[in-house]
A and B are shown apart, each in its own frame.
Chain A
Amino acid sequence: MDIFKIIDDFQKIDGDAAGRLEYATRRHFMNRISSKIAAVAVPTVFASIVNKAYAQSAAAVDVLNYALTLEYLEDEFYKAGNAAANLIPASDKAIFTQIGKHETQHVAFLVKALGTKAIAKPTFDFQYGGAFADIFTNYKTFVTVSSALEDTGVRAYKGQAGALLADPQILEYALQVHSVEARHAAVVRRLGATVLANPAMKGWITGNMGAVPAIYAGEDNMTQGGVNLKGLASKSDAAVTEAFDEPLTKEAVLAIAGPFIKK
């Protein structure tokens, strides 16, 4: 067992571990190096530090970097969209300026929260491998992709809530961003109803209707908490599915976002 290699690797995941290890080393390694109990005490102490760090930090760091990837994507998308000439009509500028502002703020917060653990900004291809070639010249395409990105963001944050149960403060931050993404999604979907001439497109998601099927897969779920809600309060299936937004796994989100990410 190469403990220094492990410590080194481990520090890459959790910088705070270094401080705790230093403390443990001083106390148990240096003071008791000649003691008979050192052989058992050191691995025990090390294991407890590792467990603590993984439970408190690694999962959260993972979630935050995943969120940062998506926020980088959104931030770059709106920066390009808001800067593009003749793309967003004057009447809708205020909406996309506000959304862009929030995405920039989310990136800034996450970068600060993660510190040295923050991932580098990826390089993006907003044309999605050619599928959205007119992304910054055709407003319809822009609105479609914007609504898809926001709805994906809502599903992505929701899918990580459970992973943050042990990190209450980070969970709360994530929830506070999650609902802002939902506000964005709703207002862009309202724009979409007119811009895309699709009056069925409401602020909320009906069934699994959407421009990009993978993004809305599972949104037609009728079962909540193990109970099928069909016919609840004599409401329609459409209303039941609208009343609950569904999560997406990280794998599903990255599969959707993948073609946007070049590097």
Chain B
Amino acid sequence: MNKIIKTKSNSENKEEEITSVVNRRLFLRSAGLATSLGTIVISACTTDDHDPNPQIPGTGDTVELGSGDVGVLNYAYALEQLEAAFYTQVIATPYAGMTDAERTILTDIRDHEIIHRDFFKAALGNGAIKGLTPNFSAIDFNSRTAVLGAAKLFEDTGVAAYNGAGKLIKNGDYLLLAGKIVSVEARHASVIRDLLNPKSADFAGDDIVDANGFDKAVAPADILTAVKGYVKDTISGANVGK
């Protein structure tokens, strides 16, 4: 059964796909996950279960996101932690020449990311990974170009990450939650891009939207590689969604 569950869905092989879906449902039910988010406390299979100080930020630790939907939620939680920490720093040490309008926008975004972060932390309960230690040493927080450039990277990455994680989610309630958040990340990306190059096509530029009019959808492994330099801990997402 494990083998079937792990089988990648393949539209060419519908028989297998159906079996996979059924097995997933059975698996979820037996794991107690097929209920609404608010009523559950997820017990994750993370290696941090035995960490005596699970909420103390790590410094170079390996953080295992876990498997299945819990893994996906922890993956989102990890990315939201980075975004929240980034914008907290942006507002704490504003770049030279930050306008009032920019400060309002960046404060709004900071608050959204903090809300996302704290929401995932609460939803995951004991299953949540610990607080990550960001590494923003490569970002010059005094430079508008550097800060907005990093913001653009984080937001575009967040959109691609949620888009790529959607099909890994088995529970419809979680999928909807991810959908509620990803469009807000896309709004952020659009506004940041418009700040960098006002009234141009860049808000949804050809560098990020393909010839089908599609945004990017990127798998967890590639996203984690992309953000590696911005976090001191080593994040292991090998089992996310599996």
- Give the interface of A toward B (CB within 8 A): 52, 55-56, 91-92, 94-95, 97-99, 101-106, 108-109, 154, 157-158, 161-162, 165-169, 171-173, 175-187, 190, 202-204, 224-227, 229, 232-233, 235-236, 239-240, 242-247
| B123 close to A227 (CB less than 8 A) | yes
Chain B residues with CB under 8 Å of A180's CB are: 186, 204, 209, 213-215
| 10 closest A-B pairs by CB | A226-B38, A225-B37, A105-B213, A182-B186, A168-B167, A176-B214, A182-B183, A186-B187, A98-B201, A186-B190
Report the Cα distance A95→B193, complex, angstroms.
12
Which of A52, A101, A172, A203 meets B187, CB within 8 Å? Answer: A203
Interface of A is mostly: helix
Partner of A169, one of B11, B212, B215: B11
Contacts of A236 in B (CB 8 A): 111
Question: Within the assembled complex, what's the spacing in Å between the Cα atoms of A165 and B170?
Answer: 7
**Contact flags (1/0) for B164-186 with A, using CB distance below 8 Å?**
10110010110111011111111
Stretch at the interface among B13-21, B91-99, B130-138: B13-21
CA distance A158 to B38 in the complex (A): 20
Is there an interface contact between A158 and B203, defined as CB atoms closer than 8 Å?
no
For B209, the chain A residues whose CB sits under 8 A away are 102, 180, 183
The interface of chain B, by Cβ under 8 A from chain A, is 9, 11, 14-15, 17-18, 21, 36-39, 105, 108, 111-112, 114-119, 122-123, 159, 162-164, 166-167, 170, 172-173, 175-177, 179-191, 194, 199-201, 203-205, 209, 211-217
Among A52, A97, A171, A187, max chain B CB count under 10 A is at A187
Task: Verify B177–A179 contact, CB threshold 8 A.
Answer: no
Asked if residues A179 and B175 are in contact (CB atoms below 8 Å), the reply is no
The B interface is mostly helix, strand or loop, or mixed, namely helix
Of B105, B112, B190, B217, most buried by chain A (CB within 10 Å of CB) is B190
| Nearest neighbor of A223 in chain B, beta-carbon distance | B38
In Å, the complex CA distance between A180 and B117 comes to: 23
B-chain residues with CB within 8 Å of residue A105 when the two chains form the complex: 211-213
- Cβ-neighbour of A232 out of B17, B115, B167 (below 8 A): B115
Residue in B14, B105, B112, B212 whose CB lies within 8 Å of A109: B212
Are A158 and B180 interface neighbours, CB within 8 A?
A: yes
Contact of B180 among A102, A232, A244 (CB under 8 A): A244
Q: Is the CB of A176 within 8 A of B186?
A: no
Task: Tell whether, in the assembled complex, residue B213 and residue A179 are in contact, meaning their CB atoms are under 8 Å apart.
Answer: no
A224, B111: Cα distance in complex, Å: 16
Task: For the A-B complex with A102-B213, A162-B175, A203-B188 known, give 15 more contacts whose Cβ atoms are closer than 8 Å.
Answer: A56-B18, A104-B213, A167-B11, A175-B162, A177-B214, A177-B215, A180-B204, A182-B183, A183-B187, A203-B190, A203-B191, A224-B180, A226-B39, A242-B112, A243-B119
Distance, CA A91 to CA B194, complexed state (A) = 13
Contact present for A161 and B194 (CB under 8 Å)? no
**Contact assessment for B201 and A106 in the assembled complex, using a CB-CB cutoff below 8 Å:** no
A176–B199 Cα distance when bound, in Å, is 23
Q: Which chain B residues border A178 with CB–CB below 8 Å?
A: 179, 182-183, 186
- The reply to whether B176 and A169 contact each other, CB–CB distance below 8 Å, is no
Given contacts A52-B14, A183-B187, contact A235 B115 (CB under 8 A): yes
Whether the pair A187, B21 counts as a contact (CB closer than 8 A) is no
B212: min CB distance to chain A, Å: 5
* Residues of B contacting A182 in the complex (Cβ-Cβ under 8 angstroms): 182-184, 186-187, 190
Nearest CB to that of A95 among chain B residues?
A: B199
Return B230 CB to nearest CB of chain A, in Å.
21
Contacts of B162 in A (CB 8 A): 175, 179
B21, closest chain A residue (CB): A166
CB <8 Å contact, B180 and A190 = no
User: What residues on B are CB-neighbors of A95 within 8 Å?
Assistant: 199-201, 203
Q: How far is A13 from B173 in the complex, measured between Cα atoms in Å?
A: 28
- Contact among B108, B117, B123, B180 with A246 in the assembled complex (CB-CB below 8 Å): B180
CB pair B186 A183 closer than 8 Å: yes
Contacts A168-B9, A183-B186 given: A162-B176 contact, CB under 8 Å? yes
**Closest B residue to A187 using CB positions:** B203
CB–CB A226/B201 < 8 A: no
CB <8 Å contact, B38 and A225? yes
Check A176 against B216 for contact (C-beta < 8 Å).
yes
- In the bound complex, how far is the Cα of B36 from the Cα of A230, in angstroms? 19
Contact (Cβ within 8 A) A190 B191: yes
Instruction: Assess the B186–A179 pair: CB atoms within 8 A.
Output: yes
Q: Which of chain A's residues have a CB closer than 8 A to the CB of B194?
A: 186-187, 190
Decide: A187 and B215 in contact? CB cutoff 8 A.
no
Shortest Cβ gap from B194 to chain A (Å): 6
Report the Cα distance A179→B212, complex, angstroms.
13
Does A56 contact B14, Cβ atoms closer than 8 Å? Answer: yes
